[in-house]
């Protein structure tokens, strides 16, 4: 699994955080998603690649900014 931290400027509330979690877990049901609306950041532990995550999040209405932090586990 890889941890990827992204900034999602449009994630502003708990409902947004739930939508982000659903979008990721549709593709990887085992993914762990830690969304923090006040900082607009999300940390995702997943087997998916970053491009797949970005595409899923953008389709859900939460495009990520260009910065990303990756940590292999």
Look at residue 21 in the predicted model and tell me its pLDDT.
98
* Residue 47: domain span: 2-72
Query: What's the number of domains the chain is made of?
Result: 1
| Collapsed DSSP state (helix, strand, coil) of residue 41 | strand
| CATH number for 9 | 3.30.70.100
Q: Is 69's pLDDT higher than 90?
A: no
Per-residue confidence band for 46, with pLDDT thresholds at 50, 70 and 90: very high
CB 53 within 8 A of CB 24: yes
Q: Is 25's pLDDT higher than 70?
A: yes
């Amino acid at each position: 699994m890889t941890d990827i931290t992204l900034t999602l400027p449009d994630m502003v509330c708990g409902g947004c955080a739930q939508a982000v979690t659903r979008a990721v877990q549709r593709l990887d049901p085992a993914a762990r998603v830690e969304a923090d609306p006040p900082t607009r950041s999300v940390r995702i532990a997943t087997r998916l690649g970053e491009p797949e995550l970005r595409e899923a999040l953008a389709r859900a209405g939460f495009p990520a900014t260009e910065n990303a932090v990756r940590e292999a586990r």
